[in-house]
Amino acid sequence: MKLIGIAASNRGVMEETIKKIEDQDIKFVLASFSDINGASRAKLVPSARLESVCKSGAGFAGFAVGDLGHGPHDPDLLCIPDLRSMTVLPWKKDIAWFAGTLTEDGSAWEHCSRTILLKVAEKAKKLGYVMKTGIEPEFFLLKQDGDGNLSPFDDLDKEQKPCYQQQALMRNIEFLSSLINNMNELGWGVTQADHEDANGQFEINFDFADAITSSDRLTFFKYMVRSMAEERGLISTFMPKPFSTLTGNGCHMHLSLWDEQEKRNLFEDQFDGKGFGLSDTAYHFIGGILYHAKALSAIVCPTVNSYKRLTAMDSMSGATWAPNIIGYGGNNRTQYIRIPDSGRIEFRAMDGTANPYLATAAILAAGLDGIENKIDPGEAFSGNLYRLQSIENELNRLPSSLKEAVEALEQDKVLISMLGEDFMNTFIARKKEEWAQYHSFVSNWEIEKYLKGY
């Protein structure tokens, strides 16, 4: 697939973008892409050079970024901005951000996570499907003292069950309202914001869109939240479990499949015999996700810390709000896959350290496999799944560690093939290294527990 020049080939789109840049007096653009971990990398380009960058790409030494399939001897990787993703920084209005796709010698680069999502989305489209997603990112707003200790920015936010606490919400109104205004200025359609289950934790909900647009927006959202926090001398984090006793950060994904014209929701069926308002297509999609759940975990929960969120027994509030049983059901937040309404499902395992493009591609790939093979998801679960304990259910549990998840991914030929074997081999190798580094590191907890007592 040749990409050089594609971004600039549509003269109408290019001319419209240039006019926007001139009308809004934009001085610079960020040609940005995501590395293997989902972190944004970019070059700052004078806006007058945008058209040439779209034609020939902004050059990056791939080895300097790490894990992009390049050595120090390889030629530059070229980032081609996607003009449709143009996002003016609300807090710095003379700069525009563009999500980019990496190329080498004019061809799509298989180690680019946005390219991986584009390829899986293209396969889905050939089958007649367009996936739409709505993301619910959670984050902490923190401060750091002189000794480096982190705590919630709001000193009065100390309740045991602070979720939806109105006073805490209003004490943080300056940051939250500024963030919401920025998002609405970008046309994202914020629906609501709330104080979440942990002290210092918040969530912003905004309108759903096609999977690629939503992934671009989540990538920019994380950058925006961090930038706004830094401006105020604060720290924001999407880390899954930053505090031992508090609920962790999830990044729930609501999703559905639509027809090629994006006019008909293929997940919706008002005559569903199970009473959830879902079609057979939706149930097979769920079946695919459940079938690949353990392998998916390595991608949607990709860090050592992720499993301290997934496997936590309880938090100070009394619930972790993270799934641990592989199953699905109705409007029940202990589920792995929740059905909050007809025509859509909520995938609750993903956390904020997941690469948005790679995680979305993996979920879509698993669901498509479910549709292709008509995988039956089985019966829906009900009740409090946190209290469901049995030997049988041990087999239906999510992995308890990154090591276990990576081992499952290594055996999942479908996901490896769909996401690209060369890239997945690199991803798996890096995650094994991450586990080895963690396992060999002596923590303060170990010193305090074992240094004198044994």
Give residue-wise pLDDT tens across range 42-58.
999 999 999 999 999 99
Name the domain count of the chain: 2
Calpha distance 196→248 (Å, rounded): 10
Q: 359: domain CATH number?
A: 3.30.590.10
Q: Is 114 a domain residue? A: no
Q: Is 68 a domain residue? A: yes
Cα 396 → chain centroid: 24
Cα–Cα nearest to 106, from 138, 126, 148, 77: 77
Query: Could you tell me the residue range of the domain that residue 376 belongs to?
Result: 121-446
Work out the angle between the directed axes of helices 293-300 and 402-410 (0-180°, nearest 10): 120
Calpha distance 441→240 (Å, rounded): 20
Question: Are residues 305 and 441 located together in one domain of the fold?
Answer: yes
Which of helix, strand or coil describes residue 87?
A: strand
Q: For 365-384, what is the mean pLDDT?
A: 95
Question: Are residues 358 and 238 located together in one domain of the fold?
Answer: yes
Question: Are residues 262 and 408 located together in one domain of the fold?
Answer: yes
pLDDT value of position 204: 96
Could you say which of 66, 86, 108 is where a domain stops? Answer: 108
Question: Are residues 348 and 320 located together in one domain of the fold?
Answer: yes
Residue with tokens 């994202």: 188
Supply the mean pLDDT for the chain. 93
Q: How many CB atoms lie within 10 A of CB 43?
A: 16
Q: 57: domain CATH number?
A: 3.10.20.70
As a whole number of angstroms, the longest Cα–Cα distance in the chain is 73
pLDDT over 80 (residue 9): no
Residue with tokens 């305090």: 448
Q: How many CB atoms lie within 10 A of CB 454?
A: 5
Question: Are residues 12 and 151 located together in one domain of the fold?
Answer: no
Question: Are residues 178 and 70 located together in one domain of the fold?
Answer: no
Calpha distance 256→364 (Å, rounded): 10
Q: Is 56 a domain residue? A: yes
Q: For 68-77, what is the mean pLDDT?
A: 86
Q: Is 150 a domain residue? A: yes
Q: How many CB atoms lie within 10 A of CB 93?
A: 13
Calpha distance 3→8 (Å, rounded): 10
pLDDT value of position 403: 98
CB neighbour burial string for 350-371, b if at least 16 within 10 angstroms, e if fewer: bbbbbbbbbbbbbbbbbbbbbb
Q: Is 453 a domain residue? A: no
pLDDT value of position 387: 76
Question: What is the pTM assigned to this prediction?
Answer: 0.95
Question: Are residues 167 and 251 located together in one domain of the fold?
Answer: yes
Give, for 307, the enclosing helix (H) or strand (E): helix 306-310
Question: Are residues 388 and 323 located together in one domain of the fold?
Answer: yes
